[in-house]
Structure 1
Amino acid sequence: MTQKNSFYDVLHNEHPLQIVGVINALSAKIAEQQGFNALYLSGAGVANVRGLPDLGLTSLDDVLHEVQSITRITNLPLLVDIDTGWDSPLNTERAVKLLCNAGAMAAHIEDQANFKRCGHRDGKKIVKTNTMCARLEAACAGKTNSQFMLMARTDALHYEAEEETIKRVKAYEAAGADALFLEAVTDLAQYKRFKSHISIPLLANITEFGKTQLYTVEQLKQNNVDMVLYPLSAFRAMNQAASRVFQAIRQEGTQQSVISLMQTRDELYDVLNYVQYEEKLNRYLEQEESSDE
């Protein structure tokens, strides 16, 4: 496997680092073509492409399938959502080991109870600090790559006083977290307050239609954010475009009114390096023909 850049490498060159969500290998190639330096695979995305809600219904194998298809096609570092670590410390350790072997360069694990839900939904249940620290220690034990970044995600905001959540994240850092993912922030200055208590990189999740405003990179930079995550932006746009295309074909009997929404054949071929593959295939065929003479 080709050596991939680490999140430490790209953080050195881009700050704050924009991390864009992809749902498969093709969208990873499109993101790379547009100049992004880091990618993300969302647990919600893995579930949604299987027609399931983000309620802990997917397996480690489901996630690994997408990880492997993405890492085979790009050397950009991939951050992977592993939810609560699949129920037990042994599963968590195994998950990180398999992710490292599959070419992922980072993962985040959260402090929700195992019956988890979307981070921007109400009614979340948060585990005790020592339970989350045990998850982190198990995840650390699974690392087979010293450059693999383990991120602790806290969903505790809104469920306890900010001072208590700060104590939590300091304990997470002590337990081995390499970065902090602060979920469902509703106050921009909160990032700066939390960053003042930790020495590890801080990630802001700028997801649409959730509890967090769509802060700009510059706003986040001014509040000491190191990484900015856009987990499902392109996926949502893809779904909306698909819905409009299906609707037009069904109602109008033609796709002519929605052609402008579509990637052209040549644009797709450019992403896939189709011509280069075709030229290679032609050379193989020419060699076969010459050997038969």
Structure 2
Amino acid sequence: MLYAQTTPEAKRRAFRERLSSGELLRMPGAFNPLSARLIEQKGFDGVYVSGAVLAADLGLPDIGLTTLTEVAGRGAQIARMTDLPTLIDADTGFGEPMNVARTIQELENAALAGCHIEDQVNPKRCGHLDGKTVVDEATAAQRIRAAVDARRDDQFLVMARTDIRATQDGEAGLRAATDRAKALVDAGADAIFPEAMRTLEEFAAMRAAVDVPLLANMTEFGKSELFTAQQLADVGMNLVIWPVSMLRISMGATGRALDELNASGSLSGKLDEMQHRADLYDLVDYQAYNHFDTDVFNFTVSR
């Protein structure tokens, strides 16, 4: 009832233990607290919160317009509704190293299990768009050192994301990515998020380059082919995210429903596509509130 029963510290410890097991953890992107609960109900391993989704939720493009306050606040709303660990996108850390340090402590306070900080130049761009620019290695490493030094709970996962692969073509880009990943691990990163890998062979090359957990981003309409979870496990990935997928599916369905309303004036033909009221009440654990007030849940819902 109300919020998750597992403490943030316990979620972080469990997340670290699962990461060290060598298995692949599946973390779909939640676009609100209710979708995080559904991700848990469906048996996934964790919840991911995308910066692109947070920006889109505000009607903004993913170009670094969101603030630390907005991101930490929404992250807290999502994390508190699930017993799963929640990993959040912290963009470039919202400023210089001191800002990165504050970002980490705010995200700890928001009960997140970890975050990733990228090496793009501000204003950043979506990781699968062309025209990205990354900072130099020293600046990227400084961000990660600031993040690691600032955390108070050493179980909070500091992941470094590098976008350098997409800034160069072919073997040069992959070599730059592996070199940058090694430097970020040396700076203290607990895990690496190599953005915009194109093939399984590139993921395998990253696996060979560093000995920390690796994240694969399976976002649609981007640079990476959409590999299955098993394919990614076979090349040694430790986490896979589908960051914007649930939002895209939900918005696609909403668009079709609005078209139907325009066309026919009713949604009676869409009932089989909707979440039933009974399922919604089950997801929000309506009945548990009856433990505190027997007048709250004193009805039945027919399916």
Cα offset, 1:283, TM superposition: 6.6
State which of 259, 265, 289 in structure 2 corresponds to 1:277: 289
Amino acid at match of 1:123: G
State which of 127, 131, 155 in structure 2 corresponds to 1:119: 127
- Alignment partner, residue 49 of structure 1: 57
Inter-CA distance 280–13: structure 2 relative to 1 (3 Å threshold): farther
* Counterpart contact for 1:4–1:75, Cα < 8 Å: no
* Counterpart contact for 2:26–2:45, Cα < 8 Å: yes
1:262 and 2:289 matched: no
- Alignment partner, residue 16 of structure 1: 24
What are the superposed Cα offsets for residues 85-133 of structure 1, whole Å, 9 maximum, x if unpaired?
Answer: 1121111100101111111111001111011110000000111011100
- Alignment partner, residue 205 of structure 1: 217
* Counterpart contact for 2:290–2:296, Cα < 8 Å: no
What are the superposed Cα offsets for residues 162-221 of structure 1, whole Å, 9 maximum, x if unpaired?
Answer: 223222111100001000101111121111111112111111101111111110111111
- Structure 2 Cα separation of the partners of residues 29 and 158 of structure 1: 34
- Alignment partner, residue 218 of structure 1: 230
State which of 55, 60, 74 in structure 2 corresponds to 1:66: 74
Cα offset, 1:250, TM superposition: 2.0
Q: What is the alpha-carbon root mean square deviation over aligned residues?
A: 1.7
State which of 231, 245, 258 in structure 2 corresponds to 1:246: 258
- Alignment partner, residue 92 of structure 2: 84
Structure 1: give runs of 5+ residues left out of the alignment: 286-293
- Alignment partner, residue 101 of structure 2: 93
Q: Which has the larger radius of gyration?
A: 1
- Structure 1 Cα separation of the partners of residues 20 and 106 of structure 2: 26
What are the superposed Cα offsets for residues 226-273 of structure 1, whole Å, 9 maximum, x if unpaired?
Answer: 111111111111101111111111221111121122101001001001
- Alignment partner, residue 146 of structure 1: 154
- Structure 2 Cα separation of the partners of residues 177 and 12 of structure 1: 15
Cα offset, 1:5, TM superposition: 2.0
- Alignment partner, residue 117 of structure 2: 109
Identity %: 39
- Structure 1 Cα separation of the partners of residues 200 and 35 of structure 2: 30
- Alignment partner, residue 3 of structure 2: none
1:5 and 2:17 matched: no
Normalised by the length of structure 1, the TM-score is 0.93
Normalised by the length of structure 2, the TM-score is 0.90
Q: Secondary structure at the match of 1:80?
A: strand
* Counterpart contact for 1:81–1:108, Cα < 8 Å: yes
Q: Paired residues, what number? A: 285
* Counterpart contact for 2:114–2:156, Cα < 8 Å: yes
Cα offset, 1:66, TM superposition: 1.1
What are the superposed Cα offsets for residues 117-169 of structure 1, whole Å, 9 maximum, x if unpaired?
Answer: 10000000111011100110111122111111111111111323122322211
Amino acid at match of 1:249: L
- Structure 2 Cα separation of the partners of residues 257 and 50 of structure 1: 30
